[in-house]
Structure 1
Amino acid sequence: MRAWSAAAAIGLAAGCTALGFWQAPTRAAGAEPAYTGVVEGYYGAPWPEEDAVQLLQFLRRHGMNTFVYAPKDDPYQRADWNLLYPPAQLASLRRLVQAAAALHIQFIYSISPGLTITYSRPADRAALIHKLDQLLRLGVSTVMLSFDDVYRGLDAADRARYGGDMAYAQADLAAYVLARERRAHPSFRLLFTPTVYRGVADNPYWDSLRRHLPPGVPVIWTGPATLAGTITAAQAEQVERWLGHPLIIWDNYPVNDYTYILDKRPRLFLGPLTGRDPKLPRVVAGYLFNPMQQARASEIALWTGAEYLAHPGTYRPQAAWDAAVRGIGGRAAQALAAFARYNATYYHDNTPPAWLTREVQSFWRQPAQEVGAQSALARTFREMRGLDTALAKLPDPRLYREIRPWSAVLALQGEAGSFAISVVAAARRLGPAAAEDAAYKAAWRKLSALVRQVDACKESVAGGAIPAFLHQVLAKVPVPAGITPNDAAQPSPT
């Protein structure tokens, strides 16, 4: 059962309209979500305008209806929330709002004042309204008031008014914004991203939101974790009851910003959406995917997400992914599919692809006379070396430019892997004499140099399987006579 029945909605409307708080429920029980689409909510610079417009077109083609503008590194969205957009940035934002309107896509602007705002301070409230009015003049009618990743406590003025209750302070500001903007703009709508936006356990923060956030304001939730491997309908329904507000899923897939920030080994996530309950879209008010910093490459995963939202009961991840690769890859679809195989591991399972692990294990089990160019691993390395050239034929040149750092790494790893196999073959052929063989010594030096190049690459592919294999080779084959420690590649950090 959904928390917001029609009878409850009527009762709340009667009690809250006069205060300016009421927002009608976003959807009827069991209907499709009112908000489906993308939240550009990663840590990083906003997409180029051309990419954002293409994403809007993508949403329209795939039956989704919502775009939330929320890139954390737009200073006017977060760090400098209280400053008006300068003319050039405002003009670009206006064009994006107009493009969304022309495509019948709901454009939602997320503003994140929590890093510096004093919630009860009149001047800060006035600055927030002034900023929102600038956006509303562009044609924005829905705003997401966001407090995700706010770790500072309340200052003295706010503690005097709200005690230590952060949720109360945020909800009170939301009530002020909603009442103030509704008077001037009757169509104004508000969404709310809480500081506690994940988990499946009631808590004091949610209890305060339940009591203080204006009724009918949808609340964002990322699932049982920030990066959720699975999300069920039962979890969403329970969380919605605890929050006492309609729930919008902010699904952090295929976002990859944390791979830049945490381990500084950027990764692409090109696999299909998995682990989502078929019933989930029908029990929430909205479902938004948070994409990668790479807008064009994100379309592979987003295509599968759109299929899931359109047909959750019959969604098949592999079939949806196959269709996405064909639709996006065009004449280079086969190359794109192969490339995606090396870039499909997700945050909660960064182990190398099982098929690649099997090929490496099989290689080491092969007899000495069978370690050459015909092994499955050797064929994989040849594929890796050739993918970059094949991907250059993608219909969308901007997609190729987005993924090229990773395809270049694959090409280098393929070259190093192929050469490593030849070194293993030479070592087995020469036996103990390898250590004194001049040609072997030259090959070993070249391999060590290639491994150092591979280790210097910051982009990660295939769960680090190939660098690990290369270091295995250096550890297993004889070290030539006269080699100093400086000549040898150091163990890979991955």
Structure 2
Amino acid sequence: MTKPQPVRGYIEGYYGRLLSWPERHDLLGTMHNLGMNAYLYAPKEDACHRIRWRQDWDQEWWQGFTAFTTAAREQGITVMAGIAPGIDLDFASLDAPGGDHDTAILRDKAKRLITAGADQICLLLDDIDPLFTRRQGRFSHEGEAHAALTNAMAGHLDCPVSVVPRIYADEITEGAEGYLTAFAQTLMAEVTVFTCGSHIVAPVIDPENMGITAAGISPGQLIIWDNLYANDYCPRRMFLGRYRGRDAADAVMLNPAGMLHTDAMLLALMQAGDDTGAWRQVVLDHGVPEEFFTIAGFFDLPPDPRTDPAPMMPDPAMADEWLTALETLLWRWKAPLQREWYPFLMGLRGDILYQAGQMDDLRKAKVLPPLLNIAHRNRD
């Protein structure tokens, strides 16, 4: 019997950016070429997905989504359509009759997504107000309510259902004691659960040693929501290092940066894994000049929260070499990828000039963010 292909794919689930349909189609082509098989549509900036989840999309959106699911199916890619009702759904509606209540609205929206070609539905209950008691209905525990809602949707819908629980990383369990236990005890075994692991940006992923598996969810139920390259929480930074610390995970989907050409490269880095030679080749294959490797350390990976997160100070003696590399990357390299990277490269140039003492006061006033500018002036 052939073993099923592990889930590998792309999550459009970040804040601050929203792809166009042509960009999503481009990513499908990238994923197909890389042998990836799943796309989760869950953009935080789509108002009808999250903040106004009860509201229907317009006809233009539905046409775009239908064309997208058709293209995905032709390329062997599963489309998971996300809805994020957790922000204000009334859990009393789980017991309400008729069709004019929150659970019915959610069910009907999910059914329309399936009719438009979605292969799976994902409920997102993350990043929400913890004041559950205002809308708890008959449920005494939020974890139980979230699992019961997911079970109800799985029972109503003729497709697989997955869920992102409110506690989607071990580091955010404070104040939510018992959530994962109640969630795991209530959730049906056939439902897939997204988790980030030990941290929202996990340095290492080990499904056998996570709070959610300790609570009773089987590792085989999990898909890792991988934020390794995400930068919506630190939009002045960009991460392009080797894809490492993920060897123990079977099902993984990447929630990257929301920049088309950068994300295409990040998906390729994901497939290359923790191999320096393969990482370097992916970078070159995407048209990045050799000079990038001189400054690549500035764009490695986020700090490891298990160790001292304080960054090491670079050697100021390298400043001229870094600046020379940036001359090429900023002014001579011309490509769509370079235009996406320009703000980050230019920001690095300013940081180097500042640290090397090569920035006069006027330049500091122009370049430094307002609050850092004030701090700099007060320090002087």
Q: Report if the CA contact (8 A) 1:342-1:353 is conserved.
A: no
324, 340, 356: which one aligns with 1:382: 324
1:75 aligns with 2:13: no
For residues 226 and 379 of structure 2, the distance between their equivalents in structure 1, rounded to whole angstroms, comes to 33
Corresponding letter in the other structure for 1:343: F
For residues 345 and 54 of structure 2, the distance between their equivalents in structure 1, rounded to whole angstroms, comes to 41
Q: Deviations over 1:278-300 (max 9, x none)?
A: 3332xxxx211110132321333
Shift of 1:412: 5.1
Aligned positions of 1:91-130 closer than 5 A: 91-121=63-93, 122=96, 123-130=101-108
Q: Report if the CA contact (8 A) 2:224-2:249 is conserved.
A: no
Shift of 1:139: 0.6
Corresponding letter in the other structure for 1:132: A
For residues 302 and 406 of structure 1, the distance between their equivalents in structure 2, rounded to whole angstroms, comes to 20
Aligned to 1:179: 155
- In structure 2, relative to structure 1, the CA distance for the partners of 1:96 and 1:492 (3 Å cut) is farther
Aligned to 2:164: 193
Corresponding letter in the other structure for 1:178: A
- In structure 2, relative to structure 1, the CA distance for the partners of 1:381 and 1:417 (3 Å cut) is farther
255, 259, 262: which one aligns with 2:230: 255
For residues 58 and 93 of structure 1, the distance between their equivalents in structure 2, rounded to whole angstroms, comes to 18
Aligned to 1:409: 347
Shift of 1:404: 1.6
Q: Deviations over 1:16-55 (max 9, x none)?
A: xxxxxxxxxxx99xx5664211111111232122322222
Give the paired residue count: 366
- In structure 2, relative to structure 1, the CA distance for the partners of 1:199 and 1:490 (3 Å cut) is same
For residues 415 and 377 of structure 1, the distance between their equivalents in structure 2, rounded to whole angstroms, comes to 8
- In structure 2, relative to structure 1, the CA distance for the partners of 1:189 and 1:176 (3 Å cut) is same
What secondary structure, in the 3-state scheme, does the structure 2 residue paired with 1:110 have? strand
Aligned positions of 1:1-150 closer than 5 A: 34-121=6-93, 122=96, 123-150=101-128
Percent identity between matched residues is 22
- In structure 2, relative to structure 1, the CA distance for the partners of 1:275 and 1:39 (3 Å cut) is same
Aligned to 1:300: 265
For residues 229 and 491 of structure 1, the distance between their equivalents in structure 2, rounded to whole angstroms, comes to 36
For residues 289 and 414 of structure 1, the distance between their equivalents in structure 2, rounded to whole angstroms, comes to 31
Aligned positions of 1:322-361 closer than 5 A: 322-329=280-287, 332-338=288-294, 340-348=296-304, 357-358=314-315, 360=316
Aligned to 2:377: 490
Shift of 1:173: 1.5
Shift of 1:178: 1.4
Aligned to 2:237: 267
Shift of 1:336: 4.3
Aligned to 2:338: 400
- In structure 2, relative to structure 1, the CA distance for the partners of 1:156 and 1:381 (3 Å cut) is closer
Q: Report if the CA contact (8 A) 1:387-1:411 is conserved.
A: no
Aligned to 2:139: 162
Aligned to 1:223: 197
Q: Report if the CA contact (8 A) 1:118-1:155 is conserved.
A: no
Structure with greater Cα Rg: 1
Aligned to 1:428: none
Q: Deviations over 1:43-96 (max 9, x none)?
A: 123212232222221111112111101111111111111111111222222222
Aligned positions of 1:345-494 closer than 5 A: 345-348=301-304, 357-358=314-315, 360=316, 363=317, 376-392=318-334, 394=335, 397=336, 399-411=337-349, 420=357, 447-456=360-369, 490=377
For residues 491 and 345 of structure 1, the distance between their equivalents in structure 2, rounded to whole angstroms, comes to 32
What secondary structure, in the 3-state scheme, does the structure 2 residue paired with 1:114 have? helix
1:242 aligns with 2:215: yes
For residues 298 and 336 of structure 1, the distance between their equivalents in structure 2, rounded to whole angstroms, comes to 17
Corresponding letter in the other structure for 1:190: V
Q: Deviations over 1:268-322 (max 9, x none)?
A: 111122223x3332xxxx21111013232133333221233xxxxxxx3312311
TM-score (norm 2): 0.85
Higher mean C-alpha deviation, range 247-256 or range 199-208: 199-208
Q: Report if the CA contact (8 A) 2:38-2:80 is conserved.
A: yes
TM-score (norm 1): 0.67
Shift of 1:117: 0.8
Where structure 2 has 5 or more consecutive residues not aligned to the other structure, the ranges are: none
Corresponding letter in the other structure for 2:285: G
Q: Deviations over 1:201-238 (max 9, x none)?
A: 995222222222122111111111111112225315x7
What secondary structure, in the 3-state scheme, does the structure 1 residue paired with 2:131 have? coil
Aligned positions of 1:279-318 closer than 5 A: 279-281=248-250, 286-308=251-273, 316-318=274-276
Aligned to 1:208: 182
- In structure 2, relative to structure 1, the CA distance for the partners of 1:98 and 1:345 (3 Å cut) is same
For residues 151 and 267 of structure 1, the distance between their equivalents in structure 2, rounded to whole angstroms, comes to 27
For residues 408 and 274 of structure 1, the distance between their equivalents in structure 2, rounded to whole angstroms, comes to 27
